[in-house]
Amino acid sequence: MRGDIAKLDGLERIFETAGERYGRVDVLVASAAHVELVPIEQVTPEHFDTTFNTNARGTLFTVQKALPLL
């Protein structure tokens, strides 16, 4: 299954599908690594939001959505 961990509706779809198909999740590796190297003076709010939403927010909500199946 493919999804974007920065989008909560995609996470819900992934774990709903996994639950329907398999009934549970045995192992979850919550790892994200969105990296876009730019000099600090060129970082924009959009760049920061994309990076943070993937690496921190997305990882946290991945674990949250998986918990009922673990």
Domain ranges of the chain: 8-69
Residue 3 and residue 14 in contact, taking contact as beta carbons nearer than 8 Å: yes
pLDDT tens-digit series, residues 59-70? 999 999 999 999
Task: Encode 38-51: b = buried (16+ Cβ within 10 Å), e = exposed.
Answer: eeeeeeeeeeeeeb
pLDDT for res 54: 86
Given a cut of 90, whether residue 3 has pLDDT beyond it is no
Share of the chain above pLDDT 90, in %: 60
Q: Which pTM was predicted?
A: 0.77
Residue 11 and residue 65 in contact, taking contact as beta carbons nearer than 8 Å: yes
Given a cut of 80, whether residue 1 has pLDDT beyond it is no
Confidence of residue 32 (pLDDT cuts 50, 70, 90): confident
Return the SS3 of 28.
coil
Fill in the amino acid letter for 66. A
